[in-house]
């Protein structure tokens, strides 16, 4: 998991408000990229 | 020929005489017919020409036949009379038999009606009577009445209820003291109950102007909310959120799950890819909706701007 995604997820959990749209798009692209690889299953 | 027979056989004459006597005896109830027969015989004798001396013995044969005919007619008349009498006797019997049947049916119907009315009256009386414990039906009523009492498992002596009562009396310090004592006395309290007690403590402390204590309990609430979720709990929570359509809760749950994916057991690895996909899909749909809404706003703004620019030009 990339550092960017970790930061984004941490911000999501810390902030009571929804993240802005560009953050959502970035998280969606990152998660899709990670999910598309088989390495994401191995911790 | 008949004369010869009559001469040669005197016995039939005697038989005919006996038959005539019997016919006379049997025709006693119908003397007019016998008289008519005698009249017929006398008429025949009168109409007939003067008998010759040789034809004198033929008189008894004619009389016998006529008497036999008369006796037969009398017997037929007797039979008809007997039939008429028998019919007269038989006709009232069926009516007499039917009448008792109808009477008995009416009596039964009346008895049934009376019984039905008595049953209805008894039901009305029983329903109007107050239920007592001695009666069999009274136990059910008592059980039904006692059921609402059993729906109050928590007495007013419960610390939470006492704290609420104190808070209603605006004794927030007392309410905080009661709940703090309750927390200290029950260390094995269920997580959900502990969460609610901590929330109440934070609220009552804030109402009591003790903001430091209120913040402390609020932080305990937050840490409790974030600490007790195991990865399998997070998976279950995510599934529940997905089933209920709560996308925000789903995203937060999967985010928490992904941030601690290095600690998850191996049998939950399959949910890592699922968490990535669902998290990305949820954010993507939200982002698409937000982008669509922003585009619509821009289009409306552009439309308004273009109209504003076109109207002065048209004029």
Q: What is the pLDDT of residue B117?
A: 93
Decide if B262 touches A, using CB distance below 8 A. Answer: yes
Question: In this complex, do A27 and B252 lie within 8 Å of one another by their Cβ atoms?
Answer: no
Tell which phi-psi region holds residue B284, choosing left (phi > 0), alpha (psi between -120 and 50) or beta: alpha
What pLDDT band is residue A30 in, cutting at 50, 70 and 90? confident
The candidate with the shortest Cα–Cα distance to B67, out of B23, B131, B109, is B23
Question: In this complex, do A32 and B261 lie within 8 Å of one another by their Cβ atoms?
Answer: no
Residues 6+ apart with CB under 8 A from B235: B257, B268, B271
Disruptive mutation site among A1, A4, A5, A21 for chain B (greatest number of B CBs within 10 Å): A21
Chain A residues within an 8 Å CB radius of B269:
41-43
Within chain B, which residues score under 70 in pLDDT?
A: 1-62, 92-101, 131-157, 226-228, 312-315
Which of B262, B276, B286 faces A31 most closely, judged by CB atoms?
B276
User: Measured between alpha carbons, how far is B178 from B264 in angstroms, rounded to an integer?
Assistant: 39
Rounded to the nearest 5 degrees, what angle is found at the Cα of B150, between the Cα atoms of B147 and B152?
130
Q: What is the pLDDT of residue B140?
A: 46
User: Measured between alpha carbons, how far is A37 from A9 in angstroms, rounded to an integer?
Assistant: 19
CB burial of B191-203 (b: ≥16 within 10 Å; e: otherwise) equals eeebbebbebbbb
Predicted structure pTM score: 0.37
Rounded to the nearest 5 degrees, what angle is found at the Cα of B188, between the Cα atoms of B186 and B194?
75
The candidate with the shortest Cα–Cα distance to B41, out of B24, B18, B23, B59, is B59
What pLDDT band is residue A28 in, cutting at 50, 70 and 90? confident
Q: What is the pLDDT of residue B152?
A: 55
Say if residue A39's pLDDT is above 60: no
Residues 6+ apart with CB under 8 A from B24: B34, B71
Instruction: Determine contact, residues A35/A10, Cβ cutoff 8 Å.
Output: no
User: Measured between alpha carbons, how far is B203 from B278 in angstroms, rounded to an integer?
Assistant: 36
Name the closest residue on chain A to residue B259, using Cα atoms: A6
């Amino acid at each position: 998991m990339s550092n960017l995604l970790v930061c984004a997820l941490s911000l999501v959990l810390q902030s009571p408000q929804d993240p802005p749209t560009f953050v959502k798009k970035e998280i969606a692209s990152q998660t899709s990229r990670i999910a598309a690889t088989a390495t994401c299953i191995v911790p | 020929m008949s004369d010869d027979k009559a001469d040669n056989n005197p016995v039939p004459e005697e038989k005919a005489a006996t038959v005539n006597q019997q016919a006379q005896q049997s025709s006693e109830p119908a003397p007019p017919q016998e008289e008519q027969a005698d009249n017929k015989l006398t008429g025949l004798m009168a109409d007939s020409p003067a008998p010759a001396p040789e034809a004198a013995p033929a008189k008894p044969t004619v009389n016998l036949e006529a008497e036999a005919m008369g006796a037969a007619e009398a017997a037929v008349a007797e039979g008809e009379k007997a039939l008429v009498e028998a019919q007269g006797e038989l006709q009232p019997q069926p009516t007499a038999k039917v009448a008792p049947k109808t009477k008995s049916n009416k009596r039964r119907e009346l008895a049934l009606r009376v019984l039905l009315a008595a049953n209805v009256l008894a039901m009305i009386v029983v329903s109007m009577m107050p239920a007592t414990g001695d009666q069999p039906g009274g136990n059910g009523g008592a059980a039904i009445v006692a059921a609402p009492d059993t729906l109050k498992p928590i007495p007013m002596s419960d610390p939470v209820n006492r704290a609420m009562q104190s808070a209603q009396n605006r004794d927030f310090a007392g309410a905080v003291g009661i709940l703090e004592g309750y927390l200290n006395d029950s260390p094995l309290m269920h997580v959900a109950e502990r969460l609610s007690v901590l929330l109440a403590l934070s609220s009552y402390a804030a109402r009591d102007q003790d903001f430091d204590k209120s913040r402390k309990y609020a932080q305990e609430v937050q840490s409790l909310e974030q600490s007790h979720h195991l990865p399998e709990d997070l998976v279950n929570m995510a599934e529940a959120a997905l089933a209920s359509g709560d996308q925000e809760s789903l995203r937060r749950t999967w985010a928490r799950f992904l941030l601690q994916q290095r600690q998850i057991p191996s049998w939950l690895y399959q949910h890592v890819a699922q968490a990535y996909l669902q998290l990305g899909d949820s954010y993507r749909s939200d982002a698409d909706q937000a982008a669509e809404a922003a585009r619509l706003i821009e289009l409306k703004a552009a439309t308004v701007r273009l109209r504003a620019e076109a109207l002065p030009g048209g004029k």
